[in-house]
Structure 1
Amino acid sequence: MNAEGPVELPGATPPLPLSIWVVAWASVVGQAELLLRRGPQVGDVGSLFLSVVLGALVLGYVSAGVVRARTVRFVLAWVVLVLAVLGELVELVSVDDLGQAAHAVVALSTTAVALAALASFRRSDWYAWQRTRPSTYDGAPIGQLVAIGVLVGMLGGIIGADDAGRRGRDGLDVRVNVAER
């Protein structure tokens, strides 16, 4: 028997694709860049703790669902990444200086890499196999990927508000004047 490359055995589980690791690490880099740009939250420790715990729980749960190809969590990841790309494009065209432009390019790049890797993951053998709903104990362990998701959530909980938020404003002014006639 002459076989080039790995031999697929009936019932064998596919390996975790590299693309899901790219999604995970691009997300870490994106959150780290945002933390460097905005700094940590300032204020009450209870609020910071709650934010970190909630971020870790939500991102851990969503990460596990994405790796296991669960539709709702996978679509949620897509929506978040697409909205992030759109927001970062708007930020890129509205920068005031070179430093802001560099941050905007890094943010857009990491999100675009994560989005492209998520698209690649969607086409992987692992994803197709996970759609058959195998036991959670079958296949490669996903604990490290979920841990990276938890880390991303924790970093998100630590990140402070942008400059407009620190001044008590969200950067958007809406004024409605209603005049009686």
Structure 2
Amino acid sequence: MTALDTRPAIDRLPTAAWAMAWLFLAGQVCALVVRGPSSSGAPWILASIALTVVVVRWVADGVLRGRTVRLVAVWVLISAAASVQLVDLLIGPADVERVLSLGFSAAQLAALAAYCSTGYFQACRAGRAAPRSVLAPLLLIAVASGFLGGLTEPAAPVSSSTVLRVGL
């Protein structure tokens, strides 16, 4: 058996990557159901959607390919979100949105950790490029997640109707 035979295949994504993608999408669906669509003006909603789709897709591509800066940014953002949500849940009332948000953040952290421990991820970190066709389905889920993130009402009340935000 040669060294080539023992290398992990990168022609299909690991289950942890799929779990991560679906968890992010499900989190955005729940946020949209709980908070509703944004009350900003139509041009701002469209701009928020477009900007969020571009950012989320770019970050997702970097995470799936094991790019250090984007991967670290996601670790930091999800960890910070989970920490803030935990504190918020401990000092505030335990409503459905708070419990769901913390649950999704914890599950997303677990899925990210599982993904980072796969042979696929290690192969990407070692410089083996995954074919675009392998990443395409998950990047479509990322685009859908970004679309919903840009469409959803912000968690904190906003006093102006001109709000441009990136809902990650």
TM-score over 0.5 (shorter chain): yes
Q: In the alignment, what sits opposite 1:29?
A: 26
Distance 1:36 1:87 in 2: 21
One-letter identity of the residue aligned with 1:129: A
Distance 2:76 2:8 in 1: 32
Q: In the alignment, what sits opposite 1:90?
A: 87
The structural deviation recorded for 1:166 is: 4.0
| TM norm structure 1 | 0.78
One-letter identity of the residue aligned with 1:153: G
What is the count of residue pairs matched by the alignment? 156
| TM norm structure 2 | 0.83
Aligned match for 2:143, one of 146, 150, 156: 150
One-letter identity of the residue aligned with 2:90: V
One-letter identity of the residue aligned with 2:70: R
Q: Give deviations 1:75-112, integer Å, cap 9, x for gaps.
A: 1110111011012112212333x6x2x22111111111
Q: In the alignment, what sits opposite 1:165?
A: 157
Distance 1:91 1:11 in 2: 44
Distance 2:22 2:135 in 1: 14
Q: 1:1-181 counterparts in 2 under 5 A?
A: 9=5, 13-14=9-10, 15-96=12-93, 100=95, 102-137=96-131, 141-162=134-155, 164-166=156-158
Q: Is 2:124–2:130's contact at 8 Å kept on the other side of the alignment?
A: no
Aligned CA distance change for structure 1 residues 18 and 11 (closer, same or farther; 3 Å): closer
One-letter identity of the residue aligned with 1:152: S
Distance 2:87 2:56 in 1: 25
Say what the alpha-carbon RMSD is for the aligned residues: 2.1
- SS of the equivalent of 1:133 reads coil
One-letter identity of the residue aligned with 2:103: S
More helix by share: 2
Distance 2:135 2:84 in 1: 30
Sequence identity of aligned pairs in percent? 29
